[in-house]
Chain A
């Protein structure tokens, strides 16, 4: 079939079942087009076909016959970057960079149709081109700036900068508090435009993420996962998988040369669950396959037969602590009981004029970084192993891979790749060890890339919690005591559960000065997916509970919620729940002031000292655009 790609004619032999994304990425090595979901949801794979933005992951390659395809690699010319690319760099619209090619292509298609888009037009066009780093304001500004340049021929408008000296163009200067600027002196960097070093590569599609790499003779890996939450593996049959054409190696727990478990804090997570051993969550790996093609590897993994003795499931942390609950680890279900004590809560509640108590629940949350996990292990001729992976903790990866191989750490080199979003979700081992084991067994490079489903299934989440808060206060709003009891669901394995839930516990009375505090947290193992690091690191959950409680208390006391917070806010000189004296730069009262300023700017109708700032609930307006409830 003949087609044009990036202004060049191609004559290509069609391959059955090939999508345009596969043609571009795998056959033509145009890896600027990314695969984030392969489900027509995320927009990372957006390219233009005959001038219209399409999702190349669900676009049959043969459908492009006779058509004109434009990818991110075709956007810049000999004269330099396209104004959109330049504007993305200058406006800081590039963060992890994984979504950037899709965003630029979507924006390019928009500007072809609409040279002068409003912010609404831009957001509408970008509805399904997701940036998980959350850089939309700068992305919108970059697109507007490029549009202006393309329309008028005038130079790209740079972003509005907060100058490090001289008057700030904004109403307040976010970088410096009153009087602190002088301490810093003249800044040469803060407040100036500093494009990130990798931005140009990320806007041209030249930036390579792990899945964009290939090595000579590289094999593809697939993992057979238990798919049951709690069981003993009774039997495993690998024979059929070994017979699939193209399969080079099939390994199970019997083939482990080194450590049987991995784990960031506690090695409680089996590299592979062996026959007779316990499966603790659906994502537990039972066997791994390396094959000449990804299709063969996946087909072989499916043919691995498993038999289980199913066990009763522990599905929440409260159940996990009850007597008689199935015990998931040798030391039971309690990972850690975390305690914080300050003053005497009995006395605090005795002093209170109002006492409220409520229990809050938060759910598991996924990081949903746009780049699914990928690891490539490459054995070197001098007997070492190189691991290519976009990881948040490469040194820990090295230690864990070395342990699993039974090697000293100096034989393993982790070559950190670009991280297409992490947010805490790329701290634990995903495919690093499995790729290394297969590379070691075959002597060849092995790539293990997760699709979105496997990514969601396997990697640790934000802890689901149950948080009971009991709060005591005087009528004037001053807090006298806070007692919290947290149950944190750390799932099947510890990961960073202890650290995360320690933060949740120490912060469970909020950023407020309270004389009497008692907090208890039970970090519990369950048969849910493991929970680990996630932005906020435990405080997200406890902040939700305590801040909800503060709103309830404000309502009970007929106080403005902001006044209540200001009254109890920690200041310089305050002592935290763990006894730390805050010597400088606490910032909370200033933060509350700014928030109030913004609330009043955005909602001028809210009367001062409103008892509640909650907007009226209107289900009709949820998730819909521009439709108002009719008044008849």
Chain B
């Protein structure tokens, strides 16, 4: 069995963290809240690590602030801070709602939004909300291992910061595209303008702290009675969080009526691939829920978009 880890490092800056990840004398892994990671290590669901690099003390990763026309949320910001942030409540309501349902109260005090995304599960509540809110992720790496210079948007010392669409971080269920030596820094979300609103909703097993049976988030813009634009995210409806493009297309440019919503539901069911998971729900049950969740989130987001 041995130790869960040999070395625990608490770097104070991004450079230190990246260097620690690259120079560790065995397999290294960043740790933020660790509420999933420690269990995965203990229960053998993950290859053993030698070095854990604790990113919870790096200023950039624990920032939560307005930056220009965007909100920045550091990857190591715990859910609890997101839930209680007036900024998030005002501009990214779906995210506040999602984070408030992750784990239990004690877990939310340490578990982070970055961990929720880096864990790469297709129905992570935080990730589903981020996807509907048009979030971009920022990934840091050291100069030497970054090859695609074209993507570079900013540079501090040897650290390269890359802005990537959220879904680019996903390879498959539980498989992140983040490589060793890369660090998830945080997320940029556009500040919601007038006429924009968002909502998150989910169904889970009673009393459970585990993953949802099904979750869904909507971010939409409206002009009077017309939906001018929207984003729908749902999970688990495939190997990675799903953007429901077809369901969105049906509603774009139309008012929210029972007809348009029914058409959107039909489109949603055609583009989702629900599976039966023995612990949580059957595909049929998920199919039954999807339309209800869609209606609920659409209606709430619509009401908020004033």
A→B interface (CB under 8 Å): 14, 16-17, 19, 38-41, 43, 46, 52-55, 58-60, 62-63, 65, 106, 124-125, 127-129, 295, 298-299, 302, 619-620, 622-624, 627, 629-630, 632
Contacts and interface: CB of A to CB of B under 8 A. Distances in A.
A226 to B, nearest CB: 19
Given A16-B6, A63-B56, A632-B295, A43 B203 contact: no
A619 B203 contact: yes
Contacts of A53: 105-106, 109
Given A128-B106, A128-B107, 7 more contacts: A16-B7, A19-B38, A40-B107, A298-B1, A622-B203, A624-B203, A624-B204
Contacts of A624: 201-204
A630 B106 CA distance: 31
B208 interface: yes
Given A19-B38, A58-B35, A299 B296 contact: no
B34 A60 contact: yes
A106 B34 CA distance: 20
Interface string B1-33: 111111110100000000000000000000100
B64 to A, nearest CB: 16
Report the 6 A-B pairs with minimum CB-CB distance, sorted nearest first: A128-B104, A17-B3, A17-B4, A623-B206, A630-B299, A16-B3
Given A40-B35, A60-B8, A63-B56, A124 B105 contact: yes
5 contacts: A54-B109, A55-B107, A298-B1, A620-B203, A627-B201
B104 A60 contact: no
Nearest to B292: A620
B202 A127 contact: no
Contacts of A298: 1
A14 B54 CA distance: 15
Interface residues of B, number: 45
A41 B6 contact: no
Contacts of A129: 104, 106
B282 to A, nearest CB: 12
A40 B103 contact: yes
B54 A63 contact: yes
A299 B206 contact: no
A43 B3 CA distance: 24
A60 B300 CA distance: 40
B194 interface: no
A419 to B, nearest CB: 24
Interface string B241-266: 00000000000000010100100000
A127 B104 contact: yes
A632 B109 contact: no
A86 to B, nearest CB: 24
A52 B54 contact: no
B196 interface: no
B264 to A, nearest CB: 13
A164 to B, nearest CB: 37
A78 B35 CA distance: 35
A60 B105 contact: no
A630 B2 CA distance: 53
A119 to B, nearest CB: 16
Contact of B8 (A14, A54, A106, A622): A14
Contacts of A40: 35, 39, 103, 106-107, 209
A60 B39 contact: no
B170 to A, nearest CB: 24
Interface of B: 1-8, 10, 31, 34-35, 38-39, 42, 52, 54, 56, 80, 103-107, 109-110, 201-209, 256, 258, 261, 288-289, 292, 295-296, 299-300
Contacts of B106: 40, 43, 46, 53-55, 106, 128-129
B105 A125 contact: yes
A152 B202 CA distance: 40
A18 to B, nearest CB: 8
Contacts of A65: 10
A632 B299 contact: yes
Nearest to A46: B106
Contacts of A58: 34-35, 38-39
A60 B38 contact: yes
Contacts of A59: 34, 110
A128 B209 contact: yes
A545 to B, nearest CB: 23
Contact of A630 (B8, B35, B39, B300): B300
Contact of A60 (B52, B209, B288): B52
A390 to B, nearest CB: 25
Contacts of B300: 630
Contacts of A52: 80, 109-110
A629 B201 CA distance: 11
A55 B35 contact: yes
Contacts of A629: 292, 296
Given A53-B109, A623-B206, A632-B295, A128 B103 contact: yes
Contacts of B105: 53, 106, 124-125, 127-128
Nearest to B201: A627
Given A17-B5, A17-B6, A295-B2, A60 B207 contact: no
A235 to B, nearest CB: 24
A103 to B, nearest CB: 12
Nearest to A15: B3
Nearest to A294: B1
Contact of B42 (A38, A41, A54, A302): A38
B206 to A, nearest CB: 4
